[in-house]
Amino acid sequence: MTTTNQILQNEKYQSCIDACFDCAESCEYCTTCCLREQDVKMLTRCIQLNRDCATICVTAAAFMSRDSEYAKQICNLCADICEACAQECEKHTNMDHCQKCAQACRRCADECRRMSG
């Protein structure tokens, strides 16, 4: 049975959880697109950061969903990784998938910073 307090906790985190899942999806898609590019070697750092970012975003969403006592720390780390991923993706100005990923990463970093207070 769900208590009112649990519902309020989840609602408190919901916009951050949504941003995390959106970011994870964008990072996975960006990784796939990068792997299909002609010069994959040039995109190694982008691919690695996308993978790290997607993983930490899903982890952060899970910690918030269960109202873990460590959710704020995980979200703070998530914001750091999202910002690094966004910076790397922004370097690839000719790749639409990288630009969209950077936007999702920035939104997620902002949400995670707000949540971790």
Residue 114, pLDDT score? 94
Residue range 14-116, CATH number = 1.20.1270.360
Residue tagged 């370097």 (tokens): 91
DSSP string, 58-111: HHHHHHHHTT-TTHHHHHHHHHHHHHHHHHHHHT-TT-HHHHHHHHHHHHHHHH
pLDDT in tens, the chain (117 residues): 455 444 445 678 999 999 999 999 999 999 999 999 999 999 999 999 999 999 999 999 999 999 999 999 999 999 999 999 999 999 999 999 999 999 999 999 999 999 988
Residue tagged 């190694």 (tokens): 44
Residue 1, pLDDT score? 47
Residue 22, pLDDT score? 98
3-state secondary structure of 38: coil
Tokens encoding 101: 């990923």
pTM for the whole thing?
A: 0.89
CA distance linking residue 60 with residue 108, whole number of Å:
11
